[in-house]
A = this chain, B = another copy of it.
Amino acid sequence: MHVGVLTGGGDCPGLNAVIRAVTKSLINDCGARVTGIERGFLGLIERRVVALDRRAVSGILHQGGTILGAHNKADPFAWFGAGGADVSGAVMDYVRELGLDALVAIGGDGTMSIAHRFQQLGLPVVGVPKTIDNDLMHTERTFGFDSAVAVVAEALARLETTARSHGRVMIVETMGRYAGWIALEGGLAGGADVILLPEIPYDLEAVATLCRKREAAQGFTLICVAEGARPVGGAMTVAAHMADSPDPIRLGGVGNVLREQLQPHLQGEVRSTLLGHVQRGGTPTPYDRVLATRFGCHAAAMVARGEFGRMVVLRGDGCDSVPLAEVAGRTRTVPLGHPLLKAARSLGISLGETRA
Contacts and interface: CB of A to CB of B under 8 A. Distances in A.
Contacts of A65: 160-162, 164-166
Contacts of A150: 285-287
Interface stretch (A24-32, A94-102, A323-331): A24-32
A24 B346 contact: yes
A145 to B, nearest CB: 10
A167 to B, nearest CB: 7
A207 interface: no
Given A21-B343, A64-B162, A347-B21, A276 B271 contact: yes
A interface residue count range (under 10 / 10 to 19 / 20 to 34 / 35 or more): 35 or more
Given A140-B316, A186-B286, A346-B300, A273 B281 contact: no
A339 interface: yes
B286 A149 contact: yes
Interface in A190-231: 190-191, 218
A256 B280 CA distance: 19
A249 interface: yes
A43 to B, nearest CB: 13
A140 B317 contact: yes
A238 interface: no
A188 B281 contact: no
Contacts of A167: 39, 69
A46 to B, nearest CB: 13
A191 B276 CA distance: 20
Per DSSP, chain A at the interface is helix
A156 B295 CA distance: 22
A278 interface: yes
Contacts of A245: 244
A5 interface: no
Interface string A68-100: 111110000000000000000000000000000
A250 B164 CA distance: 23
Interface string A276-307: 11101111011101100110011011000000
Contact of A276 (B165, B250, B273): B273
B318 A162 contact: no
Given A28-B346, A167-B69, A316 B319 contact: no
Given A58-B218, A250-B256, A272-B249, A281 B24 contact: no
A131 interface: no
A250 B252 contact: yes
Given A69-B165, A272-B249, A347-B297, A282 B158 contact: yes
B346 A297 contact: yes
Contact of A278 (B7, B158, B256): B158
B347 A191 contact: no
A117 interface: no
B340 A66 contact: no
Contacts of A260: 250
22 contacts: A13-B161, A25-B347, A28-B347, A28-B348, A61-B191, A64-B161, A70-B166, A159-B277, A161-B281, A162-B280, A162-B281, A189-B287, A189-B290, A250-B251, A250-B256, A250-B260, A271-B276, A273-B275, A290-B340, A293-B347, A294-B343, A319-B339
